[in-house]
Structure 1
Amino acid sequence: MYKVDFAQLKSEIQMLEKNDYTMMKSDISKLTAEVDKLRQKLKEEITRAQAGVRLDMNLEKGRVRDEAGAQMLKVKETNAKIEAEISNLRTQMESIKFQILQYMIGTITGTGALIMAYMRMFK
């Protein structure tokens, strides 16, 4: 009588183990499928994020390029203004040099005339 009970108990335990194994296998399959879905979603999200970052980077590059062009234009305008101012200053310097030369010639001529007049007086 005890042998029969052990045999029946053994078969019940084996059946329960088999059922548990089947349920675990089913759960593992479900979890694997869910993990695969999540992995795919993650890949898609990463791809979208990378595309967004690339777009932002390209927009930023364009903005920086435009800003650099505007700065270069301002530098060229400033350089042109400086060149014009230098040219004006050179013109003024030449004009002042010419005026000084005129005054010197006038002064030398006047001094020479006074010296000649002085020499004539005392001759």
Structure 2
Amino acid sequence: MAFASSSRVRINNLLAISRISNAFRLFSTTPSRPDFHFDTHHFVQRLEREGLNRAQAEGIMSAMAEVIDESIRNMTSNMVTKAEQEKARIHHYTQQVDFAQIKSELQLMEKNDLAMIKAENDRLMNDIEKLKQRLREEITRTQAGVRLDLNLEKGRMREESSGQELKIKEVDTRIEQEIAGLRTTIQASKATTLQYLVGFVTGCSALLMAYMRFRA
């Protein structure tokens, strides 16, 4: 009796599920899948043995098939999702590994670049020091050449100044000689003129005395 009661409860539950499934099919836009994952004929016969008619048994069978199919689809979806998650995790791990490798390569490249830059900087500093040394030597040679030229120019100017002073002295000497000659000539001219005047005055005096004597 208890078994019949429990069977009746299960049948009522299945009928309720069937009615809900049928109502859902009325409002659903997606057609139901025809694939079944159990022996539907055997299940219908068992329901008929429980006291259901053919239509009720098939309705319950369809509802159960849809529930089972939906459960299987959900399980498959979850499995796919887990697989995708695993794939994403593997991809993320691969990206992390790739990133670590890239980071290592970048660090190695950075070290190599720094070493190359340091070597290039050392070479440039060495070249700069060589250029500074060459410039200092060139400046020293130039200063020595300028000093030599200045000394030579000073010597030449002193020689020219000495020559000019000598010429000036010669001109002064010649002028003094000319002046002395002019003085001598003037003195001689004065003496000659004085002698001429004395002679002239003497002659005039003699003539005047002779004239006065003649008048007397």
TM score, norm. by length of structure 2: 0.56
- Aligned mate of 2:188, from 95, 98, 103: 95
Letter of the structure 2 residue corresponding to residue 61 of structure 1: K
User: Any unmatched runs of 5+ in structure 1?
Assistant: none
Report the counterpart of residue 209 of structure 2 in structure 1: 116
| 1:86 is aligned to 2:179 | yes
Mapping 1:29-108, distance limit 5 Å = 29-108=122-201
Task: Report Cα offsets for 1:8-67 as digits up to 9, x if no partner.
Answer: 111111110111011101100110011001111110011011001101110111011011
Report the counterpart of residue 107 of structure 2 in structure 1: 14
Higher relative contact order (CA 8 A, sep 6+): 2
Higher helix share: 1
Share of identical aligned residues, percent? 54
Report the counterpart of residue 98 of structure 2 in structure 1: 5
User: Any unmatched runs of 5+ in structure 2?
Assistant: 1-93
Letter of the structure 2 residue corresponding to residue 57 of structure 1: L
For residues 152 and 159 of structure 2, the distance between their equivalents in structure 1, rounded to whole angstroms, comes to 11
- Runs of 4+ in structure 1 over 3 Å off: none
Which structure has the greater CA radius of gyration?
A: 2
* SS of aligned partner of 2:166: helix
TM-superposed CA distance for 1:100, in Å, is: 0.7
